[in-house]
């Protein structure tokens, strides 16, 4: 006897349920659709008389009282960690031999240049600030474009790009930045002092790190969107048919 398989319409039913149950990352949703469908097919081997709805209900119940929400919740942690993992990997790369020589050379040169021409410190700060704000706007816009392509859905990398916002926050709103902003000597005058220049160099370092990591993730997100679009269209084509 031929093995009973989950039909396209039934697959779409599983796909829609996963979407309704907050499985918002497309990769995970596609994997869960296959997982649930495989379990339904296995159940049909034991109980061939079950309808799809009965089998699906049984499989869904086996996910426990929190159902797919628990899977979504656990998965969110992986997405959050991904950005920080990329930052950590990049940081390690910058401090590896021989790259560490270049890293130190670039930032030591910047520090010495600002020390010799303190007014440069103010210019660098403004450029840095504008660059970061532009990057935030660019990431936001790119994410919207990718999400539009995926019909409002998002990939895991797109989700982890949200985390870059936290890094910007840590860079620009940490106590040591507040110290610059609220110091009695005035923000711009403080940038001319030795300590201000050192802090400014550190800010440049973190900004460069954030920009490089975000750019890498953005590039990965773009290529992933193309691949996911193809997988997703599989379900959409079936739905239209």
Partner 1 sequence: MSKSYIKGFLKDILLHLIAEKGESYGYELTRMVEERTQGVIKLNEGALYPVLHKLEEQGLLVSVFKTDGSRPRKYYRLAATKESKELLSEMESQVQLYISALAAIFKNEEEWKSAE
Q: Which stretch binds partner 1 (CB under 8 A): 127-135, 181-189, 192-200, 231-239?
A: 231-239
Q: Which stretch binds partner 1 (CB under 8 A): 49-57, 64-72, 140-148, 205-213?
A: 64-72
Q: Encoding tokens for residue 44?
A: 């049909």
- 205 DSSP β-pair partners: none
- The burial of 53, by beta-carbon neighbours within 10 Å (0-12 exposed, 13-18 middle, 19 or more buried), is given as exposed
Per-residue contact flags (x/-) with partner 1 for residues 77 to 116, judged by CB under 8 A: xx--xx--x-------------------------------
Q: Which stretch binds partner 1 (CB under 8 A): 25-33, 144-152, 176-184, 188-196?
A: 25-33
Residue 231 to residue 150: CA distance in whole angstroms: 10
> With CB under 8 A, what is the number of residues at the site for partner 1?
33
24 near partner 1, judged by CB under 8 A = no
The residue whose two tokens read 């119940």 is: 61
- The DSSP 8-state label assigned to residue 47 in this structure reads -
Residue 241 to residue 235: CA distance in whole angstroms: 10
For residues 160 and 89, is the Cβ–Cβ distance under 8 A?
Answer: no
- Chain contacts with partner 1 (rule: CB under 8 A): 5-8, 11, 27-28, 30-35, 37-39, 63-64, 70-71, 73-75, 77-78, 81-82, 85, 156, 227, 231, 234, 238
């Amino acid at each position: 006897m031929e093995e009973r398989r989950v039909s396209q319409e039934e697959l779409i039913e599983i796909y829609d349920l996963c979407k309704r149950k907050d499985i918002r990352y497309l990769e995970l949703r596609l994997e869960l659709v296959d997982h649930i469908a495989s379990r339904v097919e296995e159940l049909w081997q034991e109980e061939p008389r079950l309808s799809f709805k009965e089998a699906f209900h049984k499989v869904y119940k086996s996910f426990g009282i929190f159902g797919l929400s628990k899977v979504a919740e656990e998965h969110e942690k992986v997405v959050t960690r991904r950005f920080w993992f990329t930052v950590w990997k990049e940081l390690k790369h910058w401090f590896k031999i021989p790259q560490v020589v270049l890293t130190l050379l670039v930032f030591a040169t910047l520090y010495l240049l600002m020390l010799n021409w303190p007014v440069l410190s103010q210019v660098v700060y403004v450029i840095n600030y504008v660059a970061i704000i532009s990057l935030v706007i660019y990431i936001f816009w790119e994410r919207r474009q990718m999400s539009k392509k995926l019909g409002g859905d998002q990939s895991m990398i797109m989700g982890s790009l949200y985390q870059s916002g936290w890094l910007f926050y840590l860079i620009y709103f940490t106590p040591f930045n507040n110290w610059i902003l609220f110091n009695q000597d005035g923000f711009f005058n403080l940038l001319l002092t030795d300590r201000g220049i050192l802090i400014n160099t550190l800010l440049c370092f973190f900004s460069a790190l954030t920009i490089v990591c975000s750019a890498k993730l953005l590039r990965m997100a773009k290529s992933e969107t193309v691949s996911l679009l193809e997988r997703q269209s599989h379900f959409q084509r079936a739905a239209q048919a």
